[in-house]
A = this chain, B = another copy of it.
Amino acid sequence: MVKPPSPLSALESALLALLRQAPLSGYDLRRVFADTPFVHFSDSPGAVYPALRRLEARGLVAAERRRPEGGRGRRGFVLTARGRRALESWLRLPVTVDELAQGRDVALLRFAFTEEVLGRAACVRFLEGYAAALETHVTSLEDYARRNLEGAPLSGRLAFECGVEGFRARLDWCRRAVTRFEQEKK
């Protein structure tokens, strides 16, 4: 009864993605989360260091200690071969409607790293899947609104509309993004 490897958390996957090129230390990674204004993860040491440890324990990253002398030195982490594979399979995850309904858009984060790791063809495939999920989701949201938001107060209806518009805007973006990739191919 060896427990099957649980899927990586969003934070863990993001760490893998950030380590894909250069070795970074826990502190470096914390700085990225602290300074990057988009797709926020916790920059608290209590989140980042244990997450790195978990990745290390799974053999997805390895520490190359620079100054092993004093005990506590700056430790840069690199992706192992298994780590690279794990990153790739995370990036290959199809976008699900569930994921969209959840709020935090990890799908977009995956897309951000897709080109470098999997190439442009994978980007276009991703966008097609994203668009399909978005269409389904928008349709079901509109259905819900029609059925349940008849007598709701204005602020409630407006808030819902705002959400739906957000998804529609993303759908629009998907289509434009595909076009951009096709233009670049030429």
Interface residues of A (CB under 8 A from B): 36-40, 101-105, 108-109, 111-116, 120, 123, 137, 140-141, 144, 153-156, 158-163, 165-166, 169-170, 173, 177, 180-181, 184
Contact = CB atoms under 8 A, between A and B. Distances in A.
Stoichiometry (number of copies): 2
Given A37-B137, A40-B101, A111-B158, 9 more contacts: A39-B163, A103-B105, A112-B156, A112-B159, A114-B155, A115-B153, A123-B154, A162-B170, A165-B169
Q: Is chain A's interface secondary structure helix, strand, loop, or mixed overall?
A: helix
A172 B168 CA distance: 14
A30 to B, nearest CB: 16
A113 B184 CA distance: 46
A162 B111 CA distance: 11
Contacts of A103: 39-40, 103-105
B177 A158 contact: yes
A98 to B, nearest CB: 9
A173 B144 contact: no
B140 A37 contact: yes
